[in-house]
Structure formats: C-alpha cells, structure tokens
C-alpha cells in the first residue's frame, strides 16, 4: 500500500528516500501560499533563488524580484512575500525570481523527488484531488523556521492526511500526530495557530491580513510544480497517472 509521511523540517529530509515519492512542500506563512497565489494569478514561472544578491541579478535580467528575509521585504526588491503583493501587481505571464527565508530552501532540498509540488490551504482541494490518485508514496515537507519545526506547516500537513482518509498507510507516527492535531484544530484554524512563533512575528509586523488569507481554503484550483528551479502551473501532461 502506498505510504504518506511528513518531514517536519528540511534538515530532516536525509531520513527519507525521495526518489520514489512525490514531495509536497508546505510553507503556509507564507511562501507556498504566495506561490499558489502568484501561479493562480497567471505568473508564467517562479524561479527559485538562494541568495538576495542572485535575485537582484535576475531583476537586472527582467525578472520581478520578490522575497523576504525574516518576513520583511528585501530592500531593492519589487515585491515582498505577501500574497497581497502578488494579487495587487501586474504579474500575468511574467517571470518572478523568488528567495525566502525557509520556503525556497525547502523546495530546493526536495528536488530529488519524483515530483515536487507546493501545498497550501489556498489550493487544498486541487492538491488532494491529485495526490489521492497518485500510484506512489507522498512526502509532505514542512518548511519550518530555520530548521526548526513550526506549527502551521504541521497543521496543514495534518489537514492533507485528514483529507486523504485511509488511502495511504502512515510511514511513521508523524502523520498520526499531525492528523490528530488537525482534527482538534479544524473548526478554528486561526485560534489553533495564534501561538505560533511566525504568527507572532507577522502580527508584530502588522501582517494579520496575510495570516487570515493564508488560512483560507480553496481560493485557487492550481497546483504549482517545480521543474528544475522553476515553478509553473501543473499541466495535464505533468500528471503521473
């Protein structure tokens, strides 16, 4: 029976054999939510970039430079990492270069997988509709915060396990922990995450609307997929079944 497991931090990804699995990278606050929003608003591609300096080179080459460090927009970038930066900008058919504190790193670390997707509450049902039909194992990779486990990514991983019901065997105790947490939290996600360190950090920066937005279900039907270092909208021809 195909298995689902959860990697609670990119620093633990060495414990998993990615080659036979589809990886879903989760950074609810905010990279995977922002990526879903950008692809949902017609961005042509999002190029993952490791450093701020490299991102500025892409800007000189005509890319929209986007991203943050410690949650704050990088000086000299066109956009930060708030989904609202992408909703309120002309990004249709544009190429974006993105670097964030944790999300881009988690995506790069997942690159050995059969496929690398991004997951968020914003594309929850679209993501589940695809995952449930996969013939292979699935690994949910939480971006966390600088190698540490965070609450909101684990919560979303639990929501995915909950939605898949019994279609997958659990690869460890983590899916059981996460799904039990989600079952307790699902009626009020904002209350469930209010003590999270990144929620506190974003609240301290006046970004409560980002938190509210990133906890919304099914704003988009897109599934972002990583090819090389570019994230694009999944096409029918990309599907593994």
DSSP-derived 3-state class of residue 182 = helix
Nearer to ligand MLT, 29 or 131 (CB): 29
CB of 133 to ligand MLT, least distance (A): 29
Assess 85 for contact with ligand MLT (CB under 6 A): no
Question: Two tokens at 232?
Answer: 């694009």
Nearer to ligand MLT, 71 or 171 (CB): 71
Distance in angstroms (rounded) separating the CA atoms of residues 172 and 186: 22
Burial class (CB in 10 A: 0-12, 13-18, 19+), 164: middle
**Binding ligand MLT by CB under 6 A: which of 5, 22, 26, 30?**
30
Over the window 39 to 68, marking each residue x when it contacts ligand MLT by CB under 6 A and - when it does not, the resulting string is: -----------------------------x
Distance in angstroms (rounded) separating the CA atoms of residues 199 and 196: 5
CB of 70 to ligand MLT, least distance (A): 8
Assess 31 for contact with ligand MLT (CB under 6 A): yes
Distance in angstroms (rounded) separating the CA atoms of residues 62 and 75: 17
Nearer to ligand MLT, 9 or 179 (CB): 9
Restricted to residues 9-28, the positions that interact with ligand MLT (CB under 6 A) are 27
Nearer to ligand MLT, 22 or 143 (CB): 143
Distance in angstroms (rounded) separating the CA atoms of residues 88 and 59: 19
Instruction: Pick the stretch among 36-44, 53-61, 95-103, 117-125 that binds ligand MLT (CB under 6 A).
Output: 95-103
Burial class (CB in 10 A: 0-12, 13-18, 19+), 81: buried
Assess 81 for contact with ligand MLT (CB under 6 A): yes
CB of 118 to ligand MLT, least distance (A): 11
Nearer to ligand MLT, 83 or 175 (CB): 83
* Residue entry with tokens 């950008």: 38
Over the window 133 to 162, marking each residue x when it contacts ligand MLT by CB under 6 A and - when it does not, the resulting string is: ----------x-------------------
Assess 101 for contact with ligand MLT (CB under 6 A): yes
Distance in angstroms (rounded) separating the CA atoms of residues 219 and 31: 16
Q: How many residues does the chain have?
A: 241
- Is 136 in contact with 21 (CB distance < 8 Å)? yes
Question: Two tokens at 225?
Answer: 């997929």
DSSP-derived 3-state class of residue 81 = coil
The site for ligand MLT (CB under 6 A) is made up of 27, 29-31, 68, 71, 81, 100-103, 143
């Amino acid at each position: 029976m195909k298995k689902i497991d959860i990697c609670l931090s990119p620093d633990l990804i060495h414990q998993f054999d990615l080659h036979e699995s589809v990886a879903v990278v989760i950074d609810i606050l905010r990279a995977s939510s922002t990526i879903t929003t950008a692809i949902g608003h017609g961005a042509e591609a999002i190029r993952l970039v490791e450093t701020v300096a490299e991102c500025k080179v892409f800007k000189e080459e005509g890319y929209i430079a986007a991203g943050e460090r410690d949650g704050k927009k990088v000086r000299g970038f066109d956009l930060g990492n708030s989904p609202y930066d992408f909703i309120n900008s002309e990004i249709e058919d544009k190429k974006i270069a993105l670097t964030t504190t944790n999300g881009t790193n988690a995506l790069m670390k997942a690159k050995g997988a059969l496929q690398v997707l991004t997951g968020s509450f914003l594309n929850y049902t679209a993501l589940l509709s695809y995952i449930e039909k996969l013939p292979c194992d699935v690994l949910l990779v939480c971006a966390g915060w600088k190698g540490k486990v965070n609450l909101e990514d684990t919560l979303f991983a639990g929501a995915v396990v909950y939605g898949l019901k019994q279609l997958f065997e659990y690869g460890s105790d983590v899916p059981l922990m996460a799904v039990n947490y989600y079952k307790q939290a699902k009626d009020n996600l904002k209350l469930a995450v209010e003590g999270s360190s990144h929620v506190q950090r974003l609240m301290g920066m006046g970004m409560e609307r980002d938190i509210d937005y990133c906890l919304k279900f099914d704003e988009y039907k897109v599934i972002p997929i990583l090819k090389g270092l570019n994230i694009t909208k999944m096409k029918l021809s990309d599907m593994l079944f």
